[in-house]
Amino acid sequence: MESLYRFPAPDFTSGYQLPWPETPPPEGSLLFALDLILLILALALTGYFALHRRSRKGITLILGLSLLYFGFIRGGCICPVGSVQNVALAVADASYRIPVTVIFFFFLPLLTALFFGRLFCGGPCPLGAIQDLVLLRPLRVPGRIDSALRLLPPLYLGVAILAATTDSGFLICRFDPFVSLFRFSGPLYMIAAGFLFLGIGIFVFRPYCRYLCPYGVLLGWISRFSWRHLTLKEESCASCGYCEDSCPEEAVLPPLSEPREAKKQGLRRLMILLLLLPLITAAGGGLGYLLHRPASQMNMSVALAERVAREEAGLVAGSTRYSEAFRESGISLESLYTEALQVQETFRRGSIITGLFLGLLFGLKLTGASLVRRRSSWTIDRSRCFSCGRCFDSCPVERRSGASP
């Protein structure tokens, strides 16, 4: 919503004094402490309901309460999803003082994931909660589309960290589709995006979590090594496959038939991919280098400098309010261009690193797809499973044993 003070005040003849906006005082640390305590509580309760009681109802309750408190009452901030950027900025810029609460918000869900899987996704996350609660009739996303979309979260993570560390803003927060719904305020396009995601979420399970959430990338990696993850009743499995059908995230993996390929062939393919891994990583770095100038447009100074240079060269007609404000400021063109070039230099380094990271991930994905796995029963994919507990109700063994209230 536009500020009241974007245009000159009228000439009041009645003597009315227009109040000036004031900077609100910072929130008390007590509230942040409460946030932290409630996060710990929510994680603990989600773990209790998911791992001990195996109760979907209990998890749903936590989802509802998290949505209410972390979503609508606290406005979706602070949240671990955006804290990735704070941590990245703190690592890159020694002068940035990251709040202690943010550090806890970043590390606690990861620590929990290391022990018990993605409990944060299952309960406390307000973004996941709102999507989980709107699901009505889950549809299976076609494999090709699903595979392609699942490459977006690490890309988003890399770009968000690049933007945060180059002083180009916190993209994850700026483009969070649900924050505007939590706060009943925001740019119109973000409100529309929020409703769009919810609309999709009626049929596609947690679209933001599966296909965009950058923090989910980290949780997924760590969950692979979790100590006591949520499991199926494998020892008494009836081989009905209902658990696989009930999981809208498709995190329940079916058993695999015997591979119809010679072991030697598979090993050869794996070795080739491993040898190519450094090349693929380097190619990612090269692509990152090629993209550093377009990427630098994320930064306001670079974007402004480009716009002003185009106006100066007569390549664009008119001006924007930003270029007009710049000309009114009295700052020299040289200063603007110099600053823009310095930022681009920072982007060059950052983009190469981001490219190397994404290239490595891509290479590992190709390599991982070459590993011939063996599964004799239904198993949970720990990196994908949100610990939402939907599989409890569908399992006839669980229902018979009364383990699923």
Partner 1 sequence: MKLQMTPGTRKLYRRTFAIAAAMSGSFFAVLAILISANALQLAINPPLESPALNRLTERLFEDPSDEQLRQEIRELQLLSRRAYFSRIYQIERGFYLMAGSFALLLLFLKGWALSSGVPLLLRRRGSGLTEDPVDGGRQGRLRALAFAGVFIALVALGSAAFSWRISGAALEAPGVDAPGTAAALPAGLDEEEMRAVMLNWPSFRGPWGQGNSEKTVETGGQIHWTTPVPKKGFSSPLVWENAVFLTGGDAEGLEVYRFDLETGELVWIRSLEDIFGSRRELPGVTEDTGYAAATPALDGERVFAIFASGDLVCLNFEGETLWMKNLGIPDNLYGHSSSLITYGSTLFVQFDHNEEALLYAFDTSTGEELWKQERDVVTSWASPVIIFHDSVPQLVLNADPYVIAYDPEGGGELWRADCMGGEVAVSIAWDGERVYAANQYAVAAAIDPSDGTILWEEFIDLPEVSSPIAKEGLLFMATSYGVVTCRDGATGELLWEAEFDEGFYSSPIEAGGIIYLADRGGTVHIFEASADYKAIGSFSLGEACDATPAVAGGSLIFRTENRLVRAGEDQ
Cβ distance to partner 1 smaller for residue 100 or 274:
274
For the CB of residue 157, give the shortest distance to partner 1 in the complex, in Å. Answer: 15
Cβ pair 177, 194 in contact under 8 A: yes
For the CB of residue 383, give the shortest distance to partner 1 in the complex, in Å. Answer: 14
Tokens of 154: 């690490």
Cβ pair 137, 203 in contact under 8 A: yes
Cβ distance to partner 1 smaller for residue 40 or 255:
255
Cβ distance to partner 1 smaller for residue 27 or 312:
312
Cβ distance to partner 1 smaller for residue 29 or 335:
335
For the CB of residue 273, give the shortest distance to partner 1 in the complex, in Å. Answer: 9
Q: At what angle do helices 188-201 and 126-134 cross, to 10 degrees?
A: 50
Cβ distance to partner 1 smaller for residue 230 or 243:
243
Cβ distance to partner 1 smaller for residue 75 or 266:
266
Cβ distance to partner 1 smaller for residue 28 or 330:
330
Cα(73)–Cα(183) distance, rounded to whole angstroms? 8
The CA-to-CA distance between both ends of the chain, in Å, stands at: 46
For the CB of residue 326, give the shortest distance to partner 1 in the complex, in Å. Answer: 12
Torsion of CA 178, 183, 189, 190, to 10 degrees: -30
Cβ distance to partner 1 smaller for residue 52 or 137:
137
Cα(162)–Cα(294) distance, rounded to whole angstroms? 13
Please name the residue that has the structure tokens 């988003």.
Answer: 156
For the CB of residue 198, give the shortest distance to partner 1 in the complex, in Å. Answer: 7
Best CA proximity match to 343, nearest among 385, 299, 373, 376: 299
Cα(86)–Cα(173) distance, rounded to whole angstroms? 11
Cβ pair 380, 28 in contact under 8 A: no
Cβ distance to partner 1 smaller for residue 72 or 115:
72
For the CB of residue 83, give the shortest distance to partner 1 in the complex, in Å. Answer: 26
For the CB of residue 272, give the shortest distance to partner 1 in the complex, in Å. Answer: 12
Cβ distance to partner 1 smaller for residue 147 or 401:
147
For the CB of residue 307, give the shortest distance to partner 1 in the complex, in Å. Answer: 9
Tokens of 369: 């797809």
CA distances 74 to 24, 31, 69, 162, Å, are 16, 10, 6, 27
All residues at 6 or more sequence positions from 327 whose CB lies less than 8 Å from its CB, including other chains? 308, 319
Cα(353)–Cα(355) distance, rounded to whole angstroms? 5
For the CB of residue 74, give the shortest distance to partner 1 in the complex, in Å. Answer: 17
What are 380's strand-pairing partners?
252
Cα(37)–Cα(90) distance, rounded to whole angstroms? 24
For the CB of residue 394, give the shortest distance to partner 1 in the complex, in Å. Answer: 7
> For residue 372, with 0-12 CB atoms within 10 Å meaning exposed, 13-18 middle and 19 or more buried, which class applies?
middle
Cβ pair 349, 255 in contact under 8 A: no
**Cis peptide bond N-terminal to 78, omega within 30:** yes
